[in-house]
Structure 1
């Protein structure tokens, strides 16, 4: 029934315990010029082991724009025929804890957005050559087994259009030490640095297009070294960094427009001191955990 639905644009399958594969004959295809399936979402299908894409008729899958896989814990790998998904623009994979590999990921030349969250078994190493699609604009990666070796052509640097990156875990340590990120980045969010006590290195200073930077849930982070951040920053945010004690005057970029500090009790206490408050008084917008403070600047 699904395969003959030539007018079907979106399909969402949820909580189907008997579903083990989808489907062997490929995805619904177009008829008489009408678009085929464009948005496929499979969620909480605990027995799903594989997703087939027809090798004999690539036109059947050529209209798919978005693929979402969530909590499919029997899924070991994505289909080997990923290169037939020539129009795929968004790929979201979350809580698929048995997922081991993403074959052919680098062949998805139309992919603009990649979201990988929580696949505990996924091993993705940039040391084995290009493994990311070349035209990505937005990436969210949180997986403990993704590795980033020093300076490699298969890594982030080759992504010339990447403007937004959200990345979590101690794999970020390598990115902070060396200039491995593309200079096209405008928005960068870093979270869950569980072993990093001080931000050091020159991994961020070359990002002269970077405007918005966020550190979240970095439980051990205590301080930031001088000249770590690019001068182009306009917005700086710290969320749930409970060990962060202070920010020296020369740590923050001179032309910063907004500083947000949320649930960082030691840092909030630091700026209760009027002497330390003067170090940030030049910033036009300051948000300290939603509390108003007396300052010559606009405080929200």
Structure 2
């Protein structure tokens, strides 16, 4: 069998005949990015584990379903993302043991991902980005093994008018940054559901055009930075120190609107 010495491989908007890809043929491969391959269905790594791979990204492959056997054995993988793959059924199993060094996990607009993989999330995971569909927003509440997570981005979906919903967030003892992005119908931010995030220092709210209200007493006292971007109604309330909003955020030392500090 021919083995190739490539270190980086990027396949973009081509190979319509490609239905499966085996990383085994590239034992030195560190970076694999596959995007817009319309007929790709699977990516496989067999035993023994692929020790060279550091980054794996699969983007906008509408027929991509899974990793064979739901197994991805890459002990040195740091970055793993699957984005806009509507048929993607499940994250790899046993990520806790097979992806022990994974630092960054990004899932966006993959409605088939509605459950935690068997074995839990990797033990060193620092950054998680997910959402873009209702199924993933619901799945977040059941995700465990997130004690090391410091950065969480939640991409919204339509028809969500109040967030976070009751008990929709898991236990996140180390979380320092939370980014809420792209909730087109969000009208209200529920502060009391964020209060358990006792380590939270930075809250970013972006592209929530209808957001204008906050419920609950106030945002977490640990917050030192609130950043608001392209949320016109909320921006105006903050600038005017609207009573209903100001009481929730006045303890935050730095408040920025569209990257400009206002307080």
Residues 88 and 112, structure 2, Cα contact 8 Å, conserved in 1: yes
Q: Corresponding residue for 2:19?
A: 20
Residues 181 and 203, structure 1, Cα contact 8 Å, conserved in 2: no
Structure 2 CA distance for partners of 1:90 and 1:103, relative to 1, 3 Å = same
Structure 2 CA distance for partners of 1:228 and 1:142, relative to 1, 3 Å = same
Residues 90 and 113, structure 1, Cα contact 8 Å, conserved in 2: yes
- Does 1:250 find its partner at 2:238? no
**How many residues get paired?**
249
State the secondary structure of the residue aligned to 1:224.
strand
Q: Corresponding residue for 1:240?
A: 230
Q: Which one has more relative contact order, counting CA pairs under 8 Å at least 6 apart?
A: 2
- Does 1:46 find its partner at 2:35? no
CA RMSD of aligned residues (A): 2.9
Deviation at 1:219, TM superposition (A): 3.0
> After superposition, where does 1:101-250 map in structure 2 within 5 Å?
101-104=90-93, 106-107=95-96, 108-119=99-110, 121-126=111-116, 131-144=120-133, 145-148=135-138, 152=142, 155-156=143-144, 158-169=145-156, 175=164, 177-178=166-167, 180-200=170-190, 202-244=192-234, 246=237, 247=242, 248-250=245-247
Deviation at 1:68, TM superposition (A): 0.9
State the secondary structure of the residue aligned to 2:95.
helix
Unaligned runs of 5+ in 1: 30-35, 264-284, 288-296
Residues 163 and 188, structure 2, Cα contact 8 Å, conserved in 1: no
Q: Distance in 1 between matches of 2:128 and 2:140?
A: 20
Q: Corresponding residue for 1:279?
A: none
Q: Distance in 2 between matches of 1:105 and 1:191?
A: 29
> After superposition, where does 1:277-296 map in structure 2 within 5 Å?
286-287=261-262
Structure 2 CA distance for partners of 1:146 and 1:226, relative to 1, 3 Å = closer
Unaligned runs of 5+ in 2: none
Q: Distance in 1 between matches of 2:161 and 2:125?
A: 19
Answer with 168-177 or 46-55: which moved more. 168-177
Answer with 171-180 or 234-243: which moved more. 171-180
- TM (normalized to structure 1)? 0.72
Q: Which of 80, 85, 94 in structure 2 is aligned with 1:96?
A: 85
Residues 114 and 140, structure 1, Cα contact 8 Å, conserved in 2: yes
Structure 2 CA distance for partners of 1:167 and 1:130, relative to 1, 3 Å = farther
